[in-house]
Amino acid sequence: MHQLQPQPEVTTSLQFNTHSTSAFAENPVPAQRLQWVNLQTEVQQVDWLILHFNHWFSHLNVTLVRGDFEPEYFPATETEAARIQFAHGFFNSALHEISHWSIAGEQRRLLPDLGYWYAPDGRTAEQQALFEQVEIKPQAIEWLFSKAFGRKFRVSLDNLTGDGGNGATFKDHVYAQLQQYFTGEAKLPRDAAHFIDCICAYTRSGKTLQSDEFQREMLD
């Protein structure tokens, strides 16, 4: 059984973090604290996530916001913080977009949509293979986020009208990537590790994630 092995050097942040992860996790948000276990609806959980994420990462000049349409990342300007906009107010969409942001380094966080080029639904087999290659790490990290919140994670091939590729192989790759984060073979981005620690402080009484909480069959 392994614990997560965060590697601070992987993701460089826009501003040096002078606060420890534990300090952010222990200090309550400057608003009424709602216990995660008492939240009954998706809307309440999304509100909780936005409030806490924006507190935990205020030192990086970034905010999490609901979007009415598709997800999008907007870099910071002279007058506005960077915005991670997730789709249609969906909790899982928020976690997915945060995972992509957590992987991006300093230069990509200066670019619209983190510098991604997105091929829309209806991709060819070749385009789908490229999509899946890019999605392995974000979806492995999203799975960690979901588990910390006690939510079920589902992989997304995101190609309903095109060639969906080999879903089983993609799931194998996501699972293998996740296990590498526990063994230390792969380096967990600093901001992803910080987010997980903060979540666990509120939802699991500080209990860290363990490798045996994740099984390949959970993705089927």
Q: Which tens digit of pLDDT belongs to each residue from 73-98?
A: 999 999 999 999 999 999 999 999 99
Q: With 0-12 CB in 10 A as exposed, 13-18 as middle and 19+ as buried, what is 153?
A: buried
Residue pair 79/53 in contact by the 8 Å Cβ criterion: no
Confidence of residue 164 (pLDDT cuts 50, 70, 90): low
Residue pair 48/36 in contact by the 8 Å Cβ criterion: yes
Mean pLDDT, the chain, integer: 85
Choice between 121 and 157, residue whose per-residue pLDDT is larger: 157
Query: What are 37-72's pLDDT values in tens digits?
Result: 899 999 999 999 999 999 999 999 999 999 988 899
**Which two structure tokens, joined as six digits, stand for 79?**
């007058």
Out of 22-26, 48-52, 202-206, 211-215, which region has the weakest mean confidence (pLDDT)?
Answer: 22-26
What CA–CA distance (Å, rounded) separates 204 from 202? 6
What CA–CA distance (Å, rounded) separates 4 from 110? 28
DSSP letter at 207? P
> Position 104: which residue type?
A
Strand stretches in 38-195, DSSP E: 62-67, 72-74, 82-87
pTM, entire model:
0.84
